Amino acid sequence: MNNNIDWKKYFIVFLITIGLFLTAGYLSNYLGNKKIDQLKSIQDKIAIDILSSETQFSLLSELSCKNVSGSLLSGELEELGRKLDWGQDNLGSTEEVSYLKKYYSLLQIKDYLLMKKISSSCGVKSAFILYFYTTAENCSLCEEESLVLTSLRNKYEELRVYSFDYSTDLSAVKALLKIYKIKDTELPALILDDDLLTGFHTLEDLESRVKKSFKLQETKPPAGENQSDKKSS
Amino acid sequence: MISILNITFYVLIFLSVYVQVFFFVTFLENRKRIIVRNSKIKLRSYPSVTIAVSCFNEEATVGKTIQSIFSLNYPKDKIEILIVDDGSLDNTWNIISKFAQYSNVKIFRKENGGKYTALNLALEHTKTDFFGGLDADSFADPESLVRIMSYFEKDSNIMAVVPSVTVYDFKNTIQNTQKVEYHMGVYLKKMLGFLGGINVTPGPMTIFRKCVFDDLGPYKHGHNTEDMEIAFRMQKNLYKIEHCNDAYVYTTTPTTLGKLYRQRLRWIYGFINNTLDYKSVILRKKYGNFSIFTLPMGIISIISVTYLFCRIIYNLVSFIYSKIIVLKTVGFNFTNTNFNFDPFFLNIRFFIFLVVLVYFLVIFAMISGRKMAEGKWRISLSMVYFFPIFSIIAPLWIISAVYSTLLRRLPAWR
- The whole-number pLDDT of residue B139 equals 96
pLDDT on residue A70: 45
Report yes or no: B245 and B34 within 8 Å, Cβ to Cβ: yes
B326 close to A (CB below 8 A): yes
Distance CA B47, CA B214 (A): 18
Compare CB distances from B347 to A2, A10, A90 and report the shortest one's residue.
A90
Write the DSSP assignment of B393-404 as a string of letters. HHHHHHHHHHHH
CB-based contact B330 A20, cutoff 8 Å: no
Burial of A152 (0-12, 13-18, 19+ CB in 10 A): buried
What residues of A are in contact with residue B26 (Cβ under 8 Å)? 9
Percent of chain B with pLDDT strictly greater than 70: 97
Calculate the alpha carbon distances from B317 to B9, B185, B322 in Å.
Answer: 19, 33, 9
Q: What percent of chain A lies above the pLDDT cut of 70?
A: 82
Residue B337, judged by CB atoms within 10 A of its CB (0-12, 13-18, 19+), counts as exposed
With CB atoms and an 8 Å threshold, state whether B21 touches A1: no
CB B385 within 8 A of CB B363: no
- Evaluate whether A142 touches A134 at the Cβ level (below 8 Å): yes
pLDDT for the residue B101: 94
- Taking an 8 Å cut-off on Cβ atoms, the answer to whether A13 and B22 are in contact is yes
* CB proximity B332 to A under 8 Å: no
pLDDT above 70 (res B338):
no
What is the arithmetic mean of pLDDT over B310-320? 89
The pLDDT of residue B170 is above 80 = no
Q: For residue A80, which amino acid is it?
A: L
B171 interfaces chain A, CB cutoff of 8 Å: no
**pLDDT greater than 90 at residue A20:** yes
Average per-residue pLDDT for chain B: 91
Query: For residue B215, is pLDDT > 80?
Result: yes
User: Cβ distance A194 to A181 under 8 Å?
Assistant: no
Nearest by CB to A32, which of B289, B329, B348?
A: B348
**Residue B375 · residue B34 · CB < 8 Å:** no
Residue A65, pLDDT > 70, answer no
Residue contact A27–B14, C-beta within 8 A: no
- What pLDDT band is residue A172 in, cutting at 50, 70 and 90? confident
SS3 B188: helix
Q: How far apart are CA B93 and CA B84, in angstroms?
A: 9
Q: Which of B204, B195, B197, B201 is nearest to B248 (CA)?
A: B204
Q: Are strands B130-133 and B207-209 parallel, antiparallel or unpaired?
A: antiparallel
pLDDT in the model for residue A26? 92
Residue B167's nearest CA partner among B65, B287, B250, B76 is B250
d(CA A91, CA A36): 9
Say how many CA atoms lie within 13 Å of B21 toward its Cβ.
22
Please say if the pLDDT value at position A64 is more than 70. no
Report the alpha-carbon distance of residue B28 to residue B147 in Å, rounded.
24
Distance, in angstroms, between A14 CA and closest chain B CA?
Answer: 7
Lowest model confidence (mean pLDDT) among A81-95, A167-181, A182-196, B118-132: A81-95
CB atoms under 10 Å from CB of B3, counted, come to: 7
Question: What pLDDT is attached to residue A226?
Answer: 44
Average pLDDT over all residues of chain A: 78
pLDDT of residue B324 exceeding 90: no
What's the average model confidence in pLDDT over B97-109? 95
Secondary structure (3-state) at B121 = helix
B238 touches chain A (CB under 8 A): yes
Amino acid identity, residue A45?
Answer: K
Kindly state whether B347 is in contact with chain A, defined as any CB-CB distance less than 8 angstroms. yes
Res. A221: pLDDT tops 60? no
Tell me whether residues A13 and B18 touch, CB distance under 8 A: yes
Look at residues A22, A2, A20, A1 and name the one whose alpha carbon lies nearest to residue B25: A20
* Residue B366 predicted with pLDDT over 80: yes
Q: Tell me how far apart the alpha carbons of residues A152 and A204 are, in angstroms, rounded to a whole number.
A: 10
| CA-based end-to-end distance of chain A | 101
DSSP string, B316-367: HHHHHHHHHHHHHHH-S--TT------GGGS---HHHHHHHHHHHHHHHHHH
CA-wise closest residue to A114 among A47, A44, A165: A47
Nearest-angstrom CA–CA distance, A181 and A19: 53
φ/ψ (deg, to 5) at B250:
-105, 130
Q: How far is the C-alpha of B197 from the C-alpha of B345, rounded, in Å?
A: 44
ipTM score of complex: 0.88
Q: Read out DSSP for B200-218?
A: ---TTT-EEETHHHHHH-S
Between CA B393 and CA A64 the distance in angstroms is 67
Q: In the beta sheet, which residues pair with residue A195?
A: A192
Higher pLDDT, B219 or A49: B219
Cβ contacts of B27 on chain A, cutoff 8 Å = none
Contact assessment for residue A148 and residue A180, using Cβ atoms and an 8 Å cutoff = no
Q: Look at A95-99, A221-225, B321-325 and tell me which has the smallest mean pLDDT.
A: A221-225
Give the per-residue pLDDT at A230.
37
A9–B357 CB contact, under 8 Å: no
Question: Which pLDDT score is estimated for B118?
Answer: 96
A214 with A127: CB under 8 angstroms? yes
Question: Under an 8 A CB cutoff, do B330 and A24 touch?
Answer: no
pLDDT tens-digit series, residues B189-206: 999 999 999 999 999 999
Say if residues B221 and B254 touch (Cβ distance below 8 Å).
no
Q: A122-162 pLDDT, tens per residue?
A: 777 778 889 998 877 778 888 888 888 888 888 887 888 88
Region B350-357 average pLDDT = 88
Q: Which residues contact B170 (CB under 8 A, 6 or more apart)?
A: B176, B178, B179, B253
Residue A225 has pLDDT above 50, yes or no: no
pLDDT at B1: 54
Q: Which of B5, B3, B1 is nearest to B307 (CA)?
A: B5
A6 vs A153, which has greater pLDDT? A6
